[in-house]
Amino acid sequence: MNAKNTKDIPETFAELVGDIKPLQQDRRHFGTPLKTKVEMVEKAVQVESDSYFSDTYQPLLPSDGPMRWLRADINSLELKRLRRGDYVPDLLLDLHGYRQSEAKLEIAALLHACIKQHSQCCCIMHGYGTGILKQQVPMWLAQHPQVKAFHQASREWGSDAALLVLVDIGEHPHRR
């Protein structure tokens, strides 16, 4: 190399990049967005309903008389009190017009709301219709660990198109 060419080449890196301006950094972060509380609750209800309710499980339910069921560790007097109307439902769920998948989610949400609001009794109105919900709702309720008992509702709460459900609300004092 001749001396003329070496004079044109800068000797330090600072001389090389002296006239360059730094790039502006983007302040956008593309991480996963935080979910809202409503989305979290809906997801929890869906996971809960998927884990508790099976369409293939067939509990032992009566084929004659009114629809009724009692968990094995509960006194039979509770079912009798439910039948007589000693428990008044605090929450009502009307499933008219719902599909099975939607009804399953609504029942899980109702049971979750009963526990959260310390409501011991609720009423689920499934209606007559084609009879699909009338068959499925008792099967789903018998699978849920928080359901103590259920019985066909009295005439004022919907007769044989509805069920009164007794919910285990935990260690909270009982309400009547």
| DSSP states along 67-133 | -EEE-TTS-HHHHHHHHHT-S--SEEEE-TT--HHHHHHHHHHHHHHHHHTT--EEEEE--STTSHH
pLDDT digits (tens, 9 = 90+) for 76-114: 999 999 989 899 999 999 999 899 989 998 999 899 899
The β-bridge partners of 123 are 92, 164
Reported pTM: 0.70
The β-bridge partners of 165 are 122, 150
The tokens for 144 are: 């849920």
- When pLDDT is averaged across residues 70-79 and rounded to a whole number, the result is 92
For residue 173, the model assigns a pLDDT of: 54
Domain 68-167 has CATH 3.40.50.1980: no
For residue 176, the model assigns a pLDDT of: 45
Task: Indicate if the pLDDT at residue 130 is higher than 80.
Answer: yes
What is the C-alpha to C-alpha distance for residues 36 and 43, in angstroms, rounded to an integer? 11
pLDDT > 70 in the chain, percent? 90
Whole-number Cα distances in Å, 89 to 137, 147, 159: 17, 14, 14
- When pLDDT is averaged across residues 110-128 and rounded to a whole number, the result is 92
